[in-house]
Structure 1
Amino acid sequence: MRPIRLVLSLALAGAALSAVPALQSTAVGQPAAASSPDTTIGRMKAEADGAVRLTRQRATGAVGMVRTSGDLMPDRTADSRASAGRKAATYVRTYAAAFGAAADQLRRSGVKSDRYGWTVSFTQHYRGVPVFGARLMANLDRDGRLTSVNGFVAPNLRLGTTPAIGKQVAAGHAVALVRQQPPTSDTGKAGSVKGLQAAHTRLVVYRMGAVKGEAGRAVLTYMVEVTNRANVRDMVFVDARTGKPVNRYSMAADALERHLIEANGSRDPSTFHEVWKEGDPFPGTLNADQQREVTGTGMAYWFFKDTFGRDSYDGLGHSMTTVNNDGRINCPNANWNGVTTNYCNGVTSDDVVAHEWGHAYTEYTSGLIYQWQPGALNESYSDVWGETVDLANGQQDEGEGDLTAKRADNACSTHSPALPVVVINSPASAAKVCQAGAAAFGPQVDATGVTGDIVQALDAADATGPSTTDACTVITNPATVAGKVALVDRGSCGFAIKVKNAQNAGAIGVVVGNNVDVVAGMAGADPTITIPAVLIRLSDRNRIVTALGTGPVNVTLKDNGGTRTDSYRWLVAEKSTAFGGAIRDMWQPTCLGDPGKVSDAEYFCDTSDAGGVHSNSGVPNHAYALLVDGGSYNGVNVTGLGLDKAANLWFYNQTHYLTPTSGFPEFADGLVASCSALVDQPINEVQVAENGTPQPATPIAAGDCQQVANVIAATELRREPTQCNFQPLFRQDTPGTCGAGTKRNVVWSDGFGSGLGQWTAGQEIKFPGGIGFPWRTTTDAPDHQGAVAYGQATDDGVCSNGAGDASSRDWITSPSILIPGAPQKSPRLTFDHTIASEFNVDGGNVSISVNGGAFTLVPTAAYAFNGPNSTLLTAAAGNTNPKAGQRAWTGTDGGKVTTKWGQTIVDLSAAGVAPGDTIQVRFDMGRDGCGGLFGWYVDNVVVSTCKPHQAGAAREESSSREG
């Protein structure tokens, strides 16, 4: 259930949509001394007493959020509503430039207090005229620490504020527009427009595109509320110079607004159509999958609303749209793509639907990056919320028995599939116990298992694809397969089909190699199948295939499930029939091949599956289940706190302490801080009832925090997974550029202190309406001082193959550089860089043009140090990056979502460059349509030559670089 996440950095701009009426305002103060945004950001980081995290507005490039686990302004105290307002105002006044506004444009509009602290809001005014949708929110905790400031302001405003038409004229235009184009009702018919009037008319600055998160110009407008105080309430923006409409939206919306789209298995969104929306009869003509999606979405909405007070995933009542039978998904699966939740048939149980909406709530709160431990936390939060809804909704009439009964410690469930493993017995060089997924058909392997040599089954290519190893057609090497265990690939046909074909060829068992590094069950039905079949990870499949290249490989298929108890409690997706059974077990994750603690052998160390986000989620999943129910695990005894306390602790941590890069240790720290913050504070019971009334729950007590500490110890959240032996992407033992006994002569250099003035930019956008990210300079690079060149690859696109899709590449090209002739020799290119990107999907590389010729990638042999670390996935594998299939720098340091800086050295002579040639150097960053981390930062680009220095010289002579 991998989500394709879209960060909508203007989400908070919508916060002002419900604050249209005039507010009583207090001026922030006089403007601070002017400074550049990047200089201001540097001061913001230096002043804070904790690590500072920044996100930028996609439309403006200005800061959208700054937050820290410490205090952004530690030298000022706040212990009351008034002092909290003063502290926030001082900070906003000081750092207004980073958010894109002059300090004198920001006015404090209110201070709200709640059980957890204070929220101070600021609105933007330009020459006395309010700027629509522009608001900053500063959050302080009860200890007076300023923990975050976020929101949107319109930058670089330059417009007149004297209207050419009056309010009454503008109001008349607005009413006429609504009368001529009536809003539609829930039935799709135009509603009555009798009694229309302009209730409020107000002059505002309206920044075009702000609500969509797009760049645009600012316009002086009248904002007119047109209503008949019945079924119509529209906000209309009228240009104050021309009287023409600029924008219009409705404010008449239900608290819960669901929409259901039917895809009918199509991959083309233009063929999708809406089959149900809020207010339509239910279930009407909806099928079982569609009904579950509608009801599951409602339960997710009311769970977050009544338990935590959050109105939809953006906190602002956003409509919740679902796509059923989505052909864009590799079924069986479901996902959240940043706009909608999307499902295959048979993957629509209540916990799965709540799981996918959980990804949306995570995106709009902590924004956990979908890679390594942050990604495992992202996935775990969705499992947690999905299972919490499943346990709280009381729907135990689907054969699940008593979901309230605690399962025995360390026990698997009799209702989850067998826990098969594939033991590679020989050769010794390939020996391994491989986790596997069971089939929903045929006999299950037992503790004794099936042992035999494994061979690849071959078949003919057909309409399902060109593969000859997926067993989708009749096996063509039956003499080899007979009496052996058949190894086949996943392919595109049903699992039961391929297993039956192998059985017909005489196989005694089947091992299916997945197309990703994930273990899952195999759905399907065929009562005539009489041999066992299991599915293994792609990496384990490749391990077997490699070993087969040197001789026979012997394997055993057996069950490794251990003790089992009759319980459905804590099983994930057990009612989504297409999965063939539960896909994860939160109570005992090892029962389905996932780790229950960090040191477990099941802890996933590979770079595939975004660093094991689906597997390693087992650790925080287990922590939640253990805190709810209590038990003994890993030598630690835990007294359960129940669902109400655990859910509130988890959500508080998500909304107050976690950042996009938080791993398990930071998650543990946040749990401890959350428990401390919530002691004796009011919390609500967990409930999912429609239009329910929030009910107070028993508050968290000081003693409960010891159980939080016990859970952290039991699941080893603060332990490093040393068994993985993670390595940095770049080697740190940088050698000299030229070597001992040589002298380096710098021919050309650029440290980007003067921007990109020496470079020429270029861009390729793959799909119509898509987006790219031109290179720019920044002083905000991680762990680095000064300006650098930045090739962006953040999570700002949507995988649509159209509008908003970020499948693109951007490059910068150096000027022509002359390589000196004799006696110079051995030209070199060096540069410092760091990268954090989706591994094997997004990445950057270097090309060179010699004497005006075509740009070609630097050959692998020319990299003397720290060359590209991997090859990007190909287009055939689904990578829409224009650089698909190329060698590139991609990913991060092992086990982390960041990368240490390193230096790369290129021997230009090995790239075909000789003395007297001219060259141009091109840095090229490519990315796919959605998802991402940070991107590629490059500094200190130097072209030099090397020549003998003097007899007996001991070391290379260094040269200075431009800063």
Structure 2
Amino acid sequence: MGFRIRRRSTMAAIALAAASVSAGAFLVSSPATADEGVRVDGAGRLVSLSAPVGRTLRPDSGTDATKQATAHLKALAGRFGVDARSFTVERTTAVPGGSIVRFQQTVGGAPVLGAQLIAELDTKGGLASLHGHVSATGERAANPRRQAGDVKGRGRQAFAAETSVAAGSFEESEPQLAWFDPALWAGTSSQGQVRLVWSVKVEPTELEGWGGEVLLDADSGAEVLRLSDKHEISRAICDANSTYVASNSACASKSAKRVEGGAATGIADVDAAYNLFGATSTFYQTNFGYDLTANIGSTMSGDRTKRLRGTVRACVTGYGCPMENAFWNGKGMIFGPGFTTADDVVGHELTHGVTEHTSGLVYSSQSGAINESLSDIFGEYIDQTDGLGNDSAGVRWDMGEDLPASIGVIRSMSDPTRYQDPDKVSSSYWYTGTNNSAYVHINSGVGNKAAFLLVDGGTFNGQTITGLGMTKAAQIWWRTQNTLTSSATYKEMNTVLPAACRALATAGTAGITAADCQQVDKIVLATEMNLTPAA
């Protein structure tokens, strides 16, 4: 079969535990002994409430989740030491097994930044938990001495100074009144520090710089807090210069040719890796709020800063020298010469790190094929949206169109059969052998075809599909990535992919609608994900 991008990494299960925070935050507690799952503070106020197994607390408020949650809040707010009338519904989201209703605390008609209560309901409206953060602001009027016009332009100025970019390169929202309670951010009691502020949101109009939010004192106009959206990417790129490195090595900063903030080196592979690490990081942050460096970056002895690490122009035993390959090894990226020029390849490999830290798909059999497919999907979505490389119509859905000529394109997502990969589960190209690397790379074609149809649509295997475009498709695949089990099969994908769409449609994410989800139903049917593949 053609060249396959391989990934050398041992998958390991990663468990994440939520940590408790100090007073001022109301958290879900485990009702191991308390009859109602109640926790109270030293003053006797309710800190959190969760129903014990087999029991829920029900209001008589019909079947509307928002009304049901509001009824629960009215009944229990006093036990939290707050007035239910000071909360408004921010949004209601349907999730498997029930709904989540988020309440925002307001005082004098202005929101208290970060002060929210969240009600989790079961399918019948029973309260499973009520938790969140509230501020002891007391009732007061939102009467600012400084008016909105007095603080206009201050947000642009703040971020111009922070980023060394001209103020004209930013645009800011209309100032909005809000209450700022620093205790909510610190997890301590309010202590009378609550103040009225003007909140100004700022966005860059060009690719350079970054934006965020500036809080300005509504009486003095002084800056209270600046919340930057700067994505703290940290990169370290080493150059093996056609020498052998260990397959499990990672770039140490002291050996790096280029680290975060460093100038271009003039070494094409080094600078390309640095730039494409940045493009991939921007894609994940912009579309999903996912910090690539924080989540898959690694530290090294003598360098405790998390960084995205890559070694270019590397040779690895078993792959020859020069190495015509690239792989993620659990700590960072290793590239053969020229492989850093392909944005879909770089995005593909870094997505293996994302998968390891989200769904944890085991790199074997069908779950391995889905693992490979997700890397192709996000790698290609990055490729088509980063403005880099060759994205012309003829190669738009090819994987590796920017690889060195000696390698060339390795897969087609629009027509996997061009490279003898299956486009549906019953395809004669479905690999049934015992070579795991061949299995996962070849059988990824089914997911790849689905990803192409989700964006562009088309008629395939008796189904005519209307494409949803890149933005909606990316959100559906991201939800799927976070929902799959580590041992997922295409039969599981057959359930999860449509369910992801419906959850997003219910939440109103990216404008996804129920009609869009009908197209997803057609896609899993066309690619036959519901079938059991040949043994």
The interval holding the TM-score normalised by the smaller chain is 0.5 to 0.7
User: Do 1:313 and 1:360's aligned partners in 2 also have CA atoms closer than 8 Å?
Assistant: no
Letter in 1 for 2:513: A
Task: Tell me which residue corresponds to 2:348.
Answer: 355
Match of 1:321 in 2: 309
Partner of 2:14: 9
Q: Supply the RMSD in Å over aligned alpha carbons.
A: 4.0
**Contact 2:251 2:311 survives alignment (8 Å):** no
1:642 aligns with 2:469: yes
Listed one character per residue, the Cα deviations across residues 539-598 of structure 1 (whole Å, up to 9, x for unaligned) are: xxxxxxxxxxxxxxxxxxxxxxxxxxxx11110011111652111100000101101111
Report 1:499-510 matches (<5 A).
Answer: none
- What one-letter code is carried by the residue in structure 2 that aligns with 1:712? V
Task: Name the CA distance, whole Å, in 2 between partners of 1:367 and 1:352.
Answer: 20
Percent sequence identity is 33
Partner residue in 2 for 1:279: 261
Q: Is the 8 A contact 1:347 1:579 kept in 2?
A: no
The residue number in structure 2 matching 1:28 is: 29
Aligned partners of 2:456 and 2:467 also within 8 Å: yes
Higher helix share: 2
Q: Does 1:372 align with 2:365?
A: yes
CA deviation profile, 1:219-265 (whole Å, cap 9, x unmatched): xxxxxxxxxxxxxxxxxxxxxxxxxxxxxxxxxx9621122123333
1:267 paired with 2:272, answer: no
Q: CA separation in 2, counterparts of 1:116 and 1:304?
A: 24
Contact 1:375 1:613 in 2 (8 A): yes
Residues 351 and 705 (structure 1 numbering): CA distance in 2 closer, same or farther, change over 3 Å?
same
Asked if 1:625 corresponds to 2:452, the answer is yes
SS state at 2:514 partner: coil
515, 520, 523: which one aligns with 1:708 = 520
The question of whether the paired residues in 2 share the 8 Å contact of 1:326 and 1:344 is answered with: yes
- List aligned pairs for 1:333-732, cutoff 5 A: 333-348=325-340, 349-395=342-388, 398=390, 400=391, 402-403=392-393, 567-577=394-404, 580-610=407-437, 612-655=439-482, 657-679=483-505, 681-684=507-510, 699-721=511-533, 724=534, 726=535
Report Cα offsets for 1:432-484 as digits up to 9, x if no partner.
Answer: xxxxxxxxxxxxxxxxxxxxxxxxxxxxxxxxxxxxxxxxxxxxxxxxxxxxx
SS state of the match for residue 476, structure 2?
Answer: helix
Q: CA deviation at 1:362?
A: 1.0
Q: Check 1:365–1:83 CA distance in 2 against 1; reply closer, same or farther (3 A cut).
A: farther
Instruction: Return the offset for 1:21.
Output: 7.2
| Displacement after TM superposition at 1:266 (Å) | 2.4
Aligned amino acid, residue 530 of structure 2: R
CA distance in 2, matches of 1:664, 1:258: 35
| 1:708/1:395 CA distance change after superposition, 3 Å | same
Shift of 1:7: 2.9
Q: 1:76 to 1:299 in 2, by over 3 A?
A: farther
Choose the corresponding residue for 2:269, options 289, 294, 297.
Answer: 289
User: 1:696 aligns to what?
Assistant: none
Alpha-carbon deviation of 1:290?
1.5
Q: Is residue 257–residue 278 contact of structure 1 (8 Å, CA) maintained in 2?
A: yes
Shift of 1:27: 8.2
Scaled by the length of structure 2, what TM-score is found? 0.58
**In structure 2, what is the Cα distance between the partners aligned to 1:271 and 1:703?**
47
How far is 1:660 from its partner? 0.4
- Residue 609 of structure 1 deviates from its aligned partner by 2.4
Q: What CA distance in whole angstroms lies between the structure 2 residues aligned with 1:647 and 1:359? A: 16
SS of equivalent to 1:279: coil
* Match runs of 1:142-181 below 5 Å: none
Q: Distance in 2 between matches of 1:653 and 1:141?
A: 23
Structure whose CA Rg is larger: 1
Matched residue count: 356
Change (3 A) 1:384 1:74: farther
**C-alpha deviation, 1:81, in angstroms:** 12
For residues 451 and 268 of structure 2, what CA distance do their matches in structure 1 show?
Answer: 31
Amino acid at match of 2:383: D
Structure 2 CA distance, aligned partners of 1:374 and 1:325?
31
Runs of 5+ unmatched residues, structure 2: 35-51, 59-64, 73-89, 102-117, 127-185, 188-229, 298-305
SS at match of 1:632: strand
Give the unaligned 5+ runs of structure 1. 34-71, 87-111, 121-137, 147-200, 203-252, 404-566, 685-698, 727-963
Q: Where in structure 2 are the equivalents of 1:27-106 lying within 5 Å?
A: 28=29, 31-32=32-33, 76=56
